[in-house]
A and B are shown apart, each in its own frame.
Chain A
């Protein structure tokens, strides 16, 4: 502890050991890459789980190809092959949702882009608390292992849905899952600590470690969005943690918080879960909005339209996000008057999202749009987010929700926001910042083919789900053909399933492009996209400590096609030509601990 307190004076001149550099690294860029690889792994797992679910939904009761590799607790072996069991299907539903939300999308947006971008974009040498940052990642790893361990234990993985409504989740008596549910709870609790450590770090870093001239309204939008996101995480995760631990006690020692048989309140779980859960929804989309704003402005070579409106919209989401949780519970038996007020607040929170969409359109208007892979993904985000946003209005409307609640309409909605939204933003972000992360460019042709196929198959999977929902098909159904009125929907279910296999298969292209480019991609220059923000002023990939000297910021991040320069970009750190810099001269760069000194 003593030696480790504070970085030794100046840079780490000698090369750190392999373990310090690649495993227990405190460098925010390395931690970002660690999160990237872990999350991509979970993205693959989550995708495969989805494909298995789609097999069962498209071809219920038919032997699953390759299903023979699963133990008898998950599949029923027949002479023709292995047929999925309903308990395994419920585990798939639960684990697909949980893994995608908590172990893929969230760590990609927050763990990867938060770590990669925040210090670089504000001109800091690293996070405020580099070792806390390392702890954040190394808590996410055991959390992930515990989550996956559910599949290996007796009774299988958690099967009460990613929302784990009580009392279904309070005892294995109801689901047949005992240890799996407890592992699920423990894993998410640990992951909560990981997220908290990250959030404290991000907020502190953004408030206190900005380079001179980087005023609040010169902060690039990805960092702004991550700042708001971190605040939401900071305040929402502890609510979830408390609820998870109470549920864990109900499961293990037999308390009765959520168990109605001994006087507990199952609805309390829903209130706690969604009080966390709705801010969580914005945690999952805001960073995507930030990334997309950056990419669209840059690739249109045009300042972002309404920068202040963009920031204010995010801030208002951060406030309104706390008073809309009840819209997940319209049919739960809550007071109808309360339902009405939640409908009104929910309609209100749709406004900032509309503002953002119009501003993206405004940014493209009269731009000079370069059709690179990141832009294509970013524009796909906008167009899919429009669908996801509009479909949300149906369910925000309480009478219409009577019919659509818990049908495939909501499944379509969440995937238009989380896949069409967040995941396309992640693709945009990875392709855009890949050169900064790894010093090489990704292959454009492969990138475009991957984009086109993903976009088409994605819509073939999720658009028909609206129609399935309108037809009345409930979510989380192991076998829809059990219901007579759903049998007419079966051709569509088959269509969705085949499209889903194609969608999952297409991702091989991305994986191939990713790894091929990692080793064989064209070497990247420091600023391949002619961008304005500070991360592009340092080499690709940036050295330890990022900036050779502390940068000075003279203007906002989106001064593209400014009349003041001949180029179509005007980096934040370039002194104005006519007016010599008045800002203080940059001090020699020496990272060092804070005056407090102590850990």
Chain B
């Protein structure tokens, strides 16, 4: 059993940024957890009932109240303000020079449309693969995320990417792989009976391999 609180390795450019914030939060909450629970246990043992003892009569301490209002507030708001940059970068700053794809989710599969040899979507040499997301390494990818029927959620755990796919909307999602290999594509939003088997593969190719793969697919599609 894996009791570890470490995140699995990430393979996208912004993965380490997200993971770093996670570890900062883990440290802050971890220390708070240990301190408060230790204090709780200590008080429970130290001040357990003894015959003839009377509890200390106090209604509180305003200075303390201010301290434990202000300190958590500063830490929490500081956390929010320091992490909003990563969020904005991941969710709203689309990179240029990206490979553009269309991912359309439907019960219970992912249909990924590739631009074909000419590199532009909406042309005749576009082709579609089911549950297989092929991308090049070290080049940004923009996924135009759509859904046909209900809400699905496009989840690439190793890439730290998650975005709901909404029917009737096109939501651009970007990421950039830093390693070649095979990774997971999962649905993270309950979408019906087959939700649990709505998985796919992400195959990250080297730039050359990706080109070659596109060519064979285009050729295969037009045979």
Contact = CB atoms under 8 A, between A and B. Distances in A.
Interface of A: 86-87, 90, 93, 159-161, 165, 167-168, 174-176, 260-261, 266-267, 300-309, 331-333, 336-337, 339-340, 343-344, 347-348, 350-351, 354-355, 357-359, 361-362, 364-371, 379, 382-383, 386-387, 390-391, 393-394, 396-400, 402-403, 405-407, 464, 466-467, 470-472, 474-480, 482-485, 488-489, 491-492, 495, 560-563, 568
Of listed B48, B49, B161, residue having the most chain A CB within 10 A: B49
Contact of A368 (B54, B83, B160): B54
A165 B149 CA distance: 12
Interface in B112-155: 149-151, 153, 155
A182 B63 CA distance: 54
Interface string B56-94: 111111001100110011001101110110111011100
Given A366-B47, A367-B43, A568-B54, A90 B193 contact: yes
A489 B1 CA distance: 7
B59 A303 contact: yes
Interface in B164-217: 164, 166-169, 171, 184, 186-197, 199
A301 B55 contact: yes
B55 A368 contact: yes
Contacts of B53: 368
Contacts of A300: 47, 55
5 contacts: A309-B65, A331-B188, A336-B91, A467-B2, A477-B196
Interface string B28-53: 11001100110110011001111001
A97 B54 CA distance: 45
A398 B7 CA distance: 16
B166 A355 contact: no
Contacts of A475: 190
B73 A361 contact: no
B50 A399 contact: no
A495 B187 CA distance: 25
Given A332-B164, A476-B195, A399 B48 contact: no
A351 B76 contact: yes
Contacts of B37: 383, 386
Given A266-B167, A405-B188, A355 B55 contact: no
A470 B43 CA distance: 32
Given A260-B167, A348-B73, A386 B33 contact: yes
B43 A364 contact: yes
A562 B87 contact: no
B8 A390 contact: no
B54 A492 contact: no
A331 B90 CA distance: 12
B79 A347 contact: yes
A367 B47 contact: yes
Nearest to B65: A309
A383 B18 CA distance: 28
B169 to A, nearest CB: 6
A560 B55 contact: yes
Given A368-B49, A403-B160, A393 B79 contact: yes
Given A340-B80, A561-B54, 9 more contacts: A168-B151, A174-B192, A301-B55, A337-B92, A344-B77, A351-B69, A470-B5, A472-B186, A561-B55
A359 B60 contact: yes
Given A367-B56, A369-B48, A561-B55, A362 B64 contact: yes
Contacts of A402: 18, 90, 160-162
B65 to A, nearest CB: 5
B25 A168 contact: no
Contacts of B189: 165, 406
Contact of B84 (A309, A340, A368): A340
B219 interface: no
B57 A371 contact: no
B106 to A, nearest CB: 11
A168 to B, nearest CB: 4
Nearest to B189: A406
Contacts of B168: 260-261, 266
A420 to B, nearest CB: 13
A393 B29 contact: yes
Contact of A482 (B80, B153, B188, B196): B196
A403 B163 CA distance: 10
B21 interface: yes
Contacts of B184: 472, 483-485
A371 B48 CA distance: 8
B151 A364 contact: no
Given A302-B57, A309-B65, A391-B29, A492 B2 contact: yes
Nearest to A349: B76
A561 B42 CA distance: 21
Nearest to A342: B80
B170 to A, nearest CB: 10
Nearest to B43: A364
A196 B67 CA distance: 38
A495 B107 contact: no
Contacts of B60: 303, 305-309, 359, 362
A86 B44 contact: no
B95 interface: no
Nearest to A489: B2
A93 B192 CA distance: 12
Contacts of A403: 7, 18, 22, 157, 160, 162
Nearest to B155: A474
Nearest to A496: B1
B72 A351 contact: yes
B125 to A, nearest CB: 30
Contacts of A354: 68-69, 72
A561 B72 contact: no
Contacts of B157: 403, 472, 485
Contacts of B166: 260, 266-267, 332-333
Contact of B22 (A261, A370, A394, A492): A394
Contacts of B39: 361
Nearest to A173: B149
Contacts of B199: 482-483
Given A369-B44, A390-B32, A561 B56 contact: yes
Nearest to B6: A470
B171 A333 contact: yes
Contact of B151 (A165, A301, A365): A165
B55 A568 contact: yes
B50 A368 contact: yes
A407 B188 contact: yes
A305 B196 contact: no
A338 B36 CA distance: 33
Given A340-B84, A351-B73, A370-B49, A175 B193 contact: yes
B4 interface: yes
A472 B15 CA distance: 14
Contacts of A477: 195-196
A177 to B, nearest CB: 10
B145 to A, nearest CB: 8
